[in-house]
Amino acid sequence: MFKIFATICFLSFGAADQTLCFKSEVPLSYNTAKQCTLDRDKIIDYMHADLIKKEVTIIFRCAETNEINL
């Protein structure tokens, strides 16, 4: 199984001009790396322009999980 993991960073946040980052994941699972990568790319295309305007960076990556299908 594969999942899309994300690191979300708010650039130059607050009076201290600090960058804050958080880890998250998209709540979907994929059977193949190709399926995961295709959806990851669709999410990036959908969000890219809006994130630039808001000075937010998100790094998406597909990774294999330790989940087992029974």
Query: What is the spatial distance between Cα 3 and Cα 12, in angstroms, rounded to a whole number?
Result: 29
Q: What is the pLDDT of residue 22?
A: 94
pLDDT-derived band at 9, boundaries 50, 70, 90: confident
Rounded to the nearest integer, the mean pLDDT of the chain is: 90
Q: Is the pLDDT of residue 54 over 90?
A: no
pLDDT-derived band at 8, boundaries 50, 70, 90: very high
Q: What is the pLDDT of residue 56?
A: 86
Give all strands of the β-sheet with 18-25 in edge-to-edge order.
Answer: 18-25, 2-13, 56-64
Q: What percent of the chain lies above the pLDDT cut of 70?
A: 94
